[in-house]
Amino acid sequence: MHEELRVRVLEMNLSIEAEGLVFQTWGNASAIDREQGVIAIKPSGVAYADLTADSIVVVDLEGRHVYGKLAPSVDLPTHLMIYRGFHEVGAVVHAHSHFATVFAQARRPIPCLGTTHADYFNGEIPLIPAPDHDEITLGYERAIGDLIVRHFINRDPLECPAALCAGHGPFIWGRTPRQAVENAVVLEELAAMAFHTMLLNPAAPVLENHLLNKHFLRKHGKDAYYGQKG
């Protein structure tokens, strides 16, 4: 039952734990098979050391159980909203990594201060507002996903594959499981760099637009020339 997908999601979760992006049972990762219409995700509250491919839970796009004896992550509704809203996204990571969560708790976006940031994200990492009382009552985790998707209505989510949820932490995504994990690792490093830059110089300016565009497009634009061809 969707063994290849479950193995990929197991590897994602073990990778984010190995990279130091999650602690205890905080955080989770998932991936989608759009042809089959199913999502595999970490089970709720299970230690990373205890994860196996068999413990990964599979659900459909409505969140209905397809495979597994364990309950899925409580953040499943957020993942589902991201998959429904961002049709080119193939995997999602949620972490409470230190520096990215510091920005989320401080309720500040991560500004693009240098070309390292611009190589991966086309502009600042946005801060998504916390759900209000009524939104929480109707469904807390679903509301978080809805707020993320609504923020990107006029923005390509793959040009900025991450968002900081106020008072909570980051959600990160990518076309593939490998890309989602890479983006999560990079986000944490960029958050640390921004934190220390702003500590050294609170008035540090954001990167000039022409430099931002050059660095992002040379790696991700239609005429990109970064890396090897073929």
Q: pLDDT digits over 43-93, tens only?
A: 999 999 999 999 999 999 999 999 999 999 999 999 999 999 999 999 999
pLDDT exceeds 80 at position 200: yes
What pLDDT score does 1 carry?
80
What pLDDT score does 82 carry?
98
Q: Residue 10 corresponds to which amino acid?
A: L
Do 164 and 100 contact (CB within 8 A), yes or no?
yes
Do 82 and 92 contact (CB within 8 A), yes or no?
yes
Among 33, 67, 119, 140, which one carries the catalytic annotation? Answer: 119
Mean residue pLDDT across the chain: 96
pLDDT exceeds 80 at position 149: yes
Topology given in CATH for the domain delimited by 3-220 = L-fuculose-1-phosphate Aldolase (3.40.225)
132 part of the active site: no
pLDDT, mean of residues 131-152: 95
pLDDT exceeds 80 at position 115: yes
Quote the radius of gyration of the chain (alpha carbons, Å): 17
Among 54, 132, 156, 226, which one carries the catalytic annotation? Answer: 226
119 part of the active site: yes
